[in-house]
Structure 1
Amino acid sequence: PAGAWLEIDLLHASLQDRNADFLFPARERLIRQRYYYSSSLAIGGRLDEEERNFLAQVGAGFLFQAGLVELGYAGQSDEPTQWIALRLTPLGEAVLKQVPFDAPPSGQIIVQPNFQILALGPVPLHLLAQLDLFAERKKVDHTAFEYQLTRQSVYAAQQRGFGATEVAQFLTEISHHELSQNIQRSLREWGAEHDRIVFRTGVTLLQTTDGALLEKLLADQATGRHLARPVGDTVALVKQGRRTPLLEALRASGTLPALSGASPNSADKSVLVSENGAIRSLEPVPSLFVHGRLARFCAETATGWQLTEASVHRAGGSKEKAQRIIDELRRLHRGRLPEVIVRQVKAWGGYYGAAAAGEVHLFEFRDQEALAELCQLAELRELLQPFAAGNRALAVVAADQVAAVQAILAQLGIPINPISAA
């Protein structure tokens, strides 16, 4: 059982009790044929020693490195294979019994009644990634991640197929506590709002520039008899099979409607993207496809749409996602997309990821051959990191290792002078 120590000699004896030959199938035959050695005891002892060495290697190797066992030593030892006893870890016991292993909890996730979510300590990355799906990340430091649960963030998750019910269940599981009543109620309401939206396919819609024109068309006998009902301030559902008669009625009244295709691609090259991120439609009435495609990464304004840091950041987060936004803008924009927009989307969308900064020092040597030889010296091998700079023999040294490198170079008779700017 886990926690019980077993000496290596007892382990060896137990294995031999189960199989007398253990590692050597010919053990009994070799011992009986004494002419191989001066005595059967000698050959038996040699085989026992080899088997014991094998157990020591396996215990200190795979079993220990995989976290399946803990090892005990007689005093301090620099040789891992010199252990005298071992015991199973909980993971080792689960593997031996072939049962699932429940790892001990790591870190802690707290869901506050004010919709704040705190991830404290070493929370697994896959949990943080799932939180990013439905909550807005507000703060990050070396001890905690702070998120905020909002209607918009949950709606974005629902668009990706992560429903409000799944959000509530996930938060309950990872926090190990029931969610507060106000959070449960809000998630139910947000989920119900999303469920009230029904997508219908194979329909024809009439879209007007303003609500007054739509009301006029609905009231007009010539056009109104082809319309089922309004589904928005400026949008009405066309009756099944009435698309062609409606177009004829509109043309007869002197109205020349613009036709939009049934594919989202019909919205390509239908907007202009300005260098300040403002986007306007080239059509008096932007198609619903334009609205849908831009809503993923833009904020809607009174005159069109606007690329903002928040909207791009919400849709971005990686090189691939930022590039998808850029590609979509290039498809929608008529002409060449301004380069300043490409740069801004990359910045807001996390295209380049994160970077790390640290203080280092450059050492320049006589030539590449000298640098290569110095890098082979045991005392400098870990301290000098060659730095590619054409034919110059440069090496990077960490700030806290400069004094040590200078001392070693001085012992080697290498004077240290300022690096030439040439």
Structure 2
Amino acid sequence: MEPLRLSLETYHNNTLREIAEQLGVLDKAHDKRKATLVALLMKEIPHRATYRREIAALSEAERGILALVLHQGGSATVADLTMPLMLSGMVRLGDEKQTGNTRLPTINEAMLSLLRQGLLVNVTPLTGSSTRRTFSPLYNLGIPPEVIKKLPQDLLKVPQPDFKRHIMAPPPQVVSRSTEDAMRQLFFVWAELHRQPGKELQAGGLYKRDLRRLAQSMGLELAAEKATLYHLINLLFALRLLGKKNGTIIAVADKKALHFWEQGSAVQLRALAKAYLHVGGRPVIPSSLNVGYSYSRVTPHEFAWMHQQIWELFQKITEPLWFPCTTFLQLLNHGRAGNFLFPENDVDNLIKSVRWYSWGAARGKKEAQLKQTLRETETTILHQLLEQWSWAGMVDLGYDGQSATPVALRLSLRGHAALLKQPFEEPQGEGQIILQPDFQVLAMGPVSLTTLATLERFTEREQMQPAAVSYRLTRASVYRALQTGMSVSEMLSFLTESTGQPLPQNVKRTLQEWRAQHERIVIRRDVLILQVGHPERLELLAADRQLARYLHPLDERTAWVRTQDMPKVKRRLWQLNLLPAFSRGPEADLPASMRWDEDGHLSPRHAVPSLYATGTVRRIAEEREEGWQLTPQSVQLAVSTGFTVPEITALVERLTGKPLDAAWRKQLQAWGHHYGSAQTAQVRLLRFENPEALTGLRKADKHLSRWLRPLSKKSNLAAVNEKQWEEVRVLLAEWGVTIEEGRWW
């Protein structure tokens, strides 16, 4: 708070004279210099504040202003005072006509009266080239500390709101909209972008083909509803249900986002109301406001700021009472046209421009035109914003039956509950899911958005109507769901649970056939395998309603389970008095997991052997009724896949936990052809005196090079085929080599 002396010294001298004249002390000043006036007012103003009679003689509005400023700690803004005074009925709205004998001042009149008495001071920060304050512009005001100490504060009561002064009778026509309908529209945009993300334009927004796809999926005409689609998209971004990634706009589908669709409508409505406080953009204003009235461009507030003012006003009203739209607007602009649309200093500049560049009678006429333009523009923008709140189900709008624009509004019952964070009794009645044998799925009535979100994952949406949404199961939609990780078992389980009826056999069989065609080669990540000892056990577990959605059969004894679902499966098995054993991996499961019979038969030591053990033994043995059998065929197949006989032997010893005897080692070597094969041939063995002679002859004669086959690289022995022997003999004779026949060993 500024000391009284500082505030007075900052005033223009003419302003000080006005205060002194109002207090009747101007004639007491021996001169009219500023220092003299400041010294005189420093004594007079605190002295006047001590008179209870003087304070009691102030108008109700003036005492209310002083009480509000004191309640704010001695300083406040004009905006802080306007609404409490208006709601209490102490001041009239700017354009409100007087009725009855009691004349109410405007807030500006009441503040100006206190400023002239020095009980209030203008503490608005100086801007531009200004070095002295006057009574205008007035945005910030305060009560000097010297005055606060003297005021009889028991006479100053904080004004209490009196809504009955402003409410009106219910209008002839009332439009109430459902939050559920708004949430369904948001949901279907989110679901479509979850199914297929849209490409983002560099300038922002979606490509036209993606907008067209969204419109078609919701049964809308793009040309007529483009603004509606962008409104929904902007809200989803504000709700953090849409995001951007690598040039695309995607639906956020984490746990928090999915949980949002499960909330009650009052909770969703409160989140939607807060989302309006983050919606970007600014309203389009008439060009005349920038051309006809001012040479400096004025910029309106952002939509988010305007929504914030509406939300704060709702928080002060709290009750679902009918208010005229004109009263609501004047509560927002604090009784001054333009303050809701523009910053206050911009409105001041517009008015100053009119006064500076107009003369005579034209000045008043142009200023009146400016205020009328501001009033009409603000009214239009307010109606647009209220229409959005009405679409969300936050407010009800009233019409007089003659105009297309609303004349009144009130908080809806659901909006009242959302505002006060109170529970709201949702409408009774449940929707119904119907599955037809022709693969059509109908969502009838108020089906929960959680249910619709699941349907959107594995069906194609065909048509949207107020009372029903139709879907269809197709091969493409099921394949799409399978690719995102949803299994056919989950689809069948969901349809059974949501319809409450046995599924048509042709639908069930077709979905399983589609799964088989799709899952020819499947790589699943982050899963666990559930294994049972008997097929009957897996059938019973799959029939359990709590387990069915988590178990995905692989064969008659095994099913896969997502790792994230395993705690739920484990908990349910315990409830069924089944205690599952958990594998510790191949290093722990393989050793001594099999029994060994002398006839080569392997059998598991445990009722439900580890999959690591069974998968390993299948690679080297044939499966039999009570285990596995080593056979010549199984050993040869293992060798053909890359095993060696020593590896097979070591694996059997690891599985059985004991060494194989010599007979079985020999048997495995025989079955696996460990030592390979041999060949015989009839040849002549020719021994030369030394290796160099054999090498030289082969180099000297091309025929001898082909027919003489050395037994090793540096050997003097060569093999000769019986068919070529005579020719070799002749050639050797030509080279002077004599041949002696007989044994040399």
Q: TM-score, normalised by structure 2?
A: 0.24
Q: TM-score, normalised by structure 1?
A: 0.38
Larger Rg: 2
Which has the larger share of helix? 2
Larger relative contact order (CA 8 Å, sep ≥ 6): 2
